[in-house]
Homo-oligomer: A and B are copies of this chain.
Amino acid sequence: MLIARFTAGENPRYGVLDEESDELVVLKDDPIYGDLSTTGERVKVDEVRLLSPVIPRSKIIGIGRNYAAHAAEMGNEVPDEPVVFLKPNTSVIGPGDPIVLPPYSREVHHEAELAVVISRMCKYVPVEKADDVIFGYTAANDVTARDKQRSDVQWTRAKAFDTSCPLGPYLAVDVDVSDVAVRARVDGELRQDGRTGQLVRSVPELVAYVSSIFTLLPGDVILTGTPAGVGPIDAGQRVEVEVEGIGTLANPVVRRD
């Protein structure tokens, strides 16, 4: 099942995609906090603007170096412990929203990723119980100012700036993401082409690990790391992240400075 957050000009609402009719069946509430009861209304998906399917109330947790081939292309070893960083909710944008290149960087990279959305408050989740706290999955672009990642002590300027976390287009629930394709294209050209089966730490392992650091809240997002093939994006280009079974998240790239 694919769930969208959308607007047709009014306040954001949620809807379940009916893939046969390309319509969204409108939900009464945010499905993470409520249930899936519907208002009875249906809207054409091509007549609304899709938004990020979730805006975290607490945090987006990034994981670095979680595909061996990507760690290698960056000149790094796969670490003994996952590399964990934070992105704030102010970094989130939705499908079609522009990625605004930060004025302080001249080398911004795409990073296609599978994103995990948490369903309920939890801490110290055992690996075998991880599915119980996962609401669903979406596609993410962990946009990174690579020059600042190299030069700064911490990755905040590199990875936490406004528009550095495109999410969408849908939140997929009841799907098996243990071995799905994760791809990035820039202006239609394939740049990243990995599979979640290559994750150094699996989704359940990541949920267990990060929930041993902090309490996870409903709507928190875990980015699971990016496969090999990261590279620059520049103003005027269009970057797409595709996660098999979830859809394609496309964003134009702009520079405003």
Contact yes or no, A154 B215, CB < 8 A: no
A91 part of interface (Cβ distance < 8 Å): yes
* Chain A interface, >50% SS class: loop
Contact check, B90 vs A154: say whether CB atoms are below 8 A apart: no
Residues of B within 8 A of A157 (CB): 81, 84, 213
- For window 153-175 of A, CB contacts with B under 8 Å fall at 153-157, 160-162
- Bound CA–CA A212/B104 (angstroms): 9
Binds B, one of A57-65, A192-200, A234-242: A57-65
Whether B213 pairs with A102 at a CB distance below 8 angstroms is yes
Q: Kindly state whether residue A119 has any CB partner on chain B within 8 Å.
A: no
B86 touches A215 (CB 8 A): no
- Rounded to whole Å, the gap between the CB of A187 and the closest CB of chain B is 28
Complex CA–CA separation, A168 to B59 (angstroms): 22
Chain B positions within 8 Å of A153 at CB level = 64, 79, 83
User: A63-80, CB under 8 A of B: which get 1 and which 0?
Assistant: 010000000000000010
Across-interface contacts of A213 in B (CB, < 8 A): 102, 156-157, 160-162
Size of interface on A: residues with Cβ below 8 Å to B: 34
CB <8 Å contact, B154 and A84: yes
Does A33 sit at the interface, judged by CB under 8 A? no
Cα–Cα, bound, A79→B214 (Å): 29
Q: Is the pair B90, A160 in contact by a Cβ cutoff of 8 Å?
A: no
Residues of the B chain whose Cβ atoms lie less than 8 Å from the Cβ of A176: none
**Contact partner of A154 among B58, B59, B154, CB < 8 A?**
B154
A214 cross-chain contacts in B, Cβ below 8 A: 88, 90-91, 160-162
Closest to A154 in B: B85
Looking at the complex, which one of B85, B103, B152 makes contact with A156 (CB distance below 8 Å)?
Answer: B85
A-side residues, CB < 8 A to B, are 57-59, 61, 64, 79, 81, 83-91, 102-104, 123, 152-157, 160-162, 212-215, 217
Top 5 A-B residue pairs of the complex, sorted by shortest distance between their CB atoms? A59-B88, A84-B156, A86-B86, A85-B154, A90-B215
